[in-house]
Amino acid sequence: MTAPRIATLLAAGQPGSSVIVRGWVRTRRGSKRVNFLAVNDGSCLESLQVVAAENLPNFDEVQRITTGCSVEIQGLLAASEGQGQRVEVQASRVTVLGWAEGDAYPLQKKGHTLEFLRQIAHLRPRTNTFGAVFRVRNVLGDAVHRFFQDRGFLWAHTPIITASDCEGAGQMFHVTTGAGPDAFFGRPVSLTVSGQLEGELLATALGAIYTFGPTFRAENSNTPRHLAEFWMVEPEVAFLDLAGDMDLAESFLRAIISAVLDRCGADLAFLQERFEPTLIPTLEHIVASEFVRLSYTEAIALLEASGEAFEFPPRWGADIQTEHERWLTERHIRRPVIVHGYPREIKAFYMRQSDDGRTVAAMDVLFPRIGEIIGGSQREERLDRLRSRIREMGMSEDALSWYLDTRRFGTVPHAGFGLGFERAVQFVTGMSNIRDVIPFPRTPGNADF
Ligand code: 4AD
Ligand code: MG
């Protein structure tokens, strides 16, 4: 029999009904006559209070239950007299499914640091913090699918093993059986850094698609915003230009943040209290405010005029750094900013070249606290322009012949973007380190679990 989840019992369980509850004991307290177990099953932040009295045949066993034990409880739901909770369970049977070795269980006390919990990432999902983060992550992922499915986008699965380096940044993990880089596929292959190029093949046939899957980057950047393995959401849409792409990104971000506000009230309140005092008002503010659109040239001018002592002085032609992104979104404009029209020299080969000869139809969505959360562009749909850019950048036209075919045969304007899913989870949970929003983070030097 499937037991109802504790979230359901707490919200809607009828006093007087008999129930079975399964979960892990967070705490046990009480006297020689009656014990109170706080049982959590991961379905919600709250634990369910179980009252276990001395008339239980195994009451001596109950008194030996420690934090972390797994239990199955049979009993009667009763209106709770205690503080906070609507219902509790009066146990008629308590079965210990698994003991937890008493003091050896690492999650005894509250208040472990996030750094310590990262070292026990196999157990940290059992804490309030990580339960909350992973429930919010789930709702955010579901909201991604709902947003696109409601608008007729097809979820497309692009390859993880690939021979193409979409972003051209040379940060790929090579895949080999050990018999040599070419042995299995007859050519060197890597883990994908982005599903975009294959996404374009599908969008120029199916109209509107999105990918939602893992991507890999061998960036040696040990920052609170980079992972070697992260999830990306990449919509790609035929007959869309840059302005439409920015509109899509903005309505998408608003929709998924609203879904979290609607569905994760208790977890957000907990995360706000623990980690980010302005979390909920900030999310509400983002949902309500229009994102500001700013050309790259205007953004550089603002940064130059700011009088700030940046580590990297802003300069037309150079990339906008995290410190610049944060100044724009947190200090100056105080809401999300979409910067568009970047210099072509600092962007990937596939972006549409502007008439000015210096910029491309690229856009980045910058968020307070996070910096770049989305990167996207209108793609170069003109065969001759795309070819000459590929040649200029010293790339192989041959290796990209399949990609160029979309421009040879029935080319259309099209655009898309990539959302760094963990950066979005960081934003909605208020967690300051990206390693704390993915269950088992991969970063330079770390691939445990
Ligand atoms: O800006 P990026 O490199 O864009 C692309 O890969 C395009 N092909 C997307 C597209 O147009 N379809 O990456 C997209 C986003 C970034 O804005 C950032 O949020 C996230 O992916 N990202 C990372 N997140 C975590 N760890 C990393 N190492 C990341 N690198 C990029
Ligand atoms: Mg980018």
- Residue 445 domain flag: no
**Pocket of ligand 1, candidates 137, 194, 246: which has the most ligand atoms within 8 Å of its Cβ, to mutate?**
194
- Residue 443 domain flag: no
> Ligand 2 centre and the CA of 140: distance in Å?
21
Whether residue 398 sits in one domain with residue 253: yes
Whether residue 413 sits in one domain with residue 264: yes
The answer to whether the CB of 442 is under 6 A from ligand 1 is: no
- Residue 386 domain flag: yes
Ranges of residues in the chain whose predicted pLDDT is under 50: 1
Find, among 354, 296, 291, the residue nearest to 320 by Cα: 296
Whether residue 136 sits in one domain with residue 55: no
Q: Which of the ligands is closest to the CA of residue 342?
A: 2
The answer to whether the CB of 379 is under 6 A from ligand 1 is: no
Q: Which amino acid is at 131?
A: G
Domains: count for the chain: 2
In 10 A of CB 4, how many CB atoms?
Answer: 16
> Ligand 2 centre and the CA of 403: distance in Å?
21
Pair of tokens at residue 402 = 């399949």
- Residue 22 domain flag: yes
Q: Which of the ligands is closest to the CA of residue 373?
A: 1
SS3 for the chain, per residue?
CCCCCHHHHHHHCCCCCEEEEEEEEEEEEECCCEEEEEEECCCCCCCEEEEEECCCCCHHHHCCCCCCCEEEEEEEEEECCCCCCCEEEEEEEEEEEECCCHHHCCCCCCCCCHHHHHHCCCCHHHCHHHHHHHHHHHHHHHHHHHHHHHCCCEECCCCCEECCCCCCCCCCCEECCCCCCCCCCCCCEEECCCCHHHHHHHHHHHCEEEEEEEEECCCCCCCCCCCCEEEEEEEEEECCCHHHHHHHHHHHHHHHHHHHHHHCHHHHHHHHHHCCCCHHHHHHHHHHCCCEEEEHHHHHHHHHCCCCCCCCCCCCCCCCCHHHHHHHHHHHCCCCEEEEEEEHHHCCCCECECCCCCEEEEEEEEECCCEEEEEEEEECCCHHHHHHHHHHCCCCCCCCHHHHHHHHCCCCCEEEEEEEHHHHHHHHHCCCCHHHCCCCCCECCECCC
pTM summary value: 0.97
Residue nearest to atom 2 of ligand 1 (CA): 375
In the prediction, which pLDDT does 238 show? Answer: 98
Whether residue 227 sits in one domain with residue 251: yes
The answer to whether the CB of 88 is under 6 A from ligand 1 is: no
The answer to whether the CB of 124 is under 6 A from ligand 1 is: no
CATH code, domain carrying 89: 2.40.50.140
| Spatial CB neighbours of 421, under 8 Å, sequence gap ≥ 6 | 140, 141, 144, 212, 230, 231, 232, 233
Place of tokens 């504790």: 6
Q: What backbone phi and psi angles, to 5 degrees, belong to 47? A: -100, 155
In the prediction, which pLDDT does 167 show? Answer: 82
Whether residue 384 sits in one domain with residue 239: yes
Q: Which of the ligands is closest to the CA of residue 158?
A: 1
Residue nearest to atom 21 of ligand 1 (CA): 420
List 70's β-bridge partners, or say none. Answer: 24, 98
Find, among 316, 309, 312, the residue nearest to 339 by Cα: 316
Pair of tokens at residue 224 = 């609170």
Q: Report how far residue 54's alpha carbon sits from residue 250's, in angstroms, rounded to the nearest whole number.
A: 59
Question: Do 331 and 315 contact (CB within 8 A), yes or no?
Answer: no
What domain range is 162 assigned to?
Answer: 124-436
For residue 234, which atom of ligand 1 is closest to its CA? 12
> Ligand 1 centre and the CA of 418: distance in Å?
6
Whether residue 166 sits in one domain with residue 39: no
Whether residue 401 sits in one domain with residue 364: yes
Domain stops at, among 51, 81, 109: 109
The answer to whether the CB of 423 is under 6 A from ligand 1 is: yes
- Residue 115 domain flag: no
